[in-house]
Structure 1
């Protein structure tokens, strides 16, 4: 229940404000203890997902404890070493615990894509889970379409090829889908292309795109590709997609797949500025600049999407 989670978060937040967690880090045992002390009827079996279940929903700001809003305290997920979450202060211009900076705006393109290549039965029996949405995106080549048609400037012009690598990489955090793209700025076949590892985060309807989750996925992508030599992965590019309403739809409410493309980051830059930084919080200050956004309308419609 959200109300009970709010109660547990407030208890942990009070301890944080009292100085019990100097670095703001909350671990598995802290969550389990807070559930016990508050008497909340919440499961203690999977504390690692405690914060995720709160902040991933569009109701995150509503369910955040009033006390922590007044004290301008928010939180992010943390991964590994039995860490669950970290309390942190609001940013300088932040007015709510969990802002949504990557929603569609006036610059978002709307693009109609066919779904007839998907079997009729599949279009009507699909579900709303991330795995199904990921499969839809892969089968309709939404990532390829985004990068080939809607990337900005040189990124689009220099794209050579892109292919789907894997669905559901079981890392912390999990990466819903990954792709490999190659880029070249020359027609000379003797000049080797640059290879980019692409992460794709997929969200259901009424779920939020989490900036720190995207940053963690970028870091993990550099980790898992560090040993590759031929070809070496020189860049990582993050994408995120979610189901959103089509604002101009007439008549029955229509939903499409919204794709956010972020600027690529070079391995050398990432290592120097973030991985090798003496500041453990450096990663969370890495800018996430969206370079293009597209809302894909689906025709014929897919039942699980809307």
Structure 2
């Protein structure tokens, strides 16, 4: 299908992009890699009057150390994350997840920031960002603000990023190798029907679990984390915790999977992800 007519703008700086968003308001959309926005425009589910392409904005694509964290520019592609030696050594959950996104074409054009702001309930990145308890930096006309991953997603395809703001950076902690991402995917698209990211902190005897694809928005499986806190992660403890991975959420029910099947899958994948992460510790 063909999108509705729109004006195309391509700012060279972040300040210019923000000024254009202020000028055009809710009638404008930001274009990053295009793999989230363009398909919905072609279906005319989104009909912005102005598209602001930020692919030429300097210094929004990088992976670098920043204090005790790793900073990732919002325009960093999925492939650049997959291929990053720094992330492979310091935050391996991201390099494990990246190659599971879509196909080679999507990974070479799609960006982590675009995916996060689009907030598709079946996207992969949110599970890892939640499990890592990442910080996300958002730029607007009033300056910059940082929000925690647990506060970033507010509904189906909705985040705290306002229409005049741009997500510019994601900061993640360094971790041990005791991490894992396990998903059951929709075959044609690769989107998650139930994706579970796990970070096991053996030293502090804590576990962080991020879930995507199951509910209208990604979530931290807090009940699982609570049950496992301070415990030895043996088979019985993992089985008990995985059994409550859908606690407190309303699973989606659609053409891809019933609510009951999603609730079952999240339990299975939580158990599998925990077992894999523990085996790597």
Which TM-score band applies after superposition, normalised by the shorter structure?
A: under 0.3
Greater Rg by CA: 1
Q: TM-score, normalised by structure 2?
A: 0.26
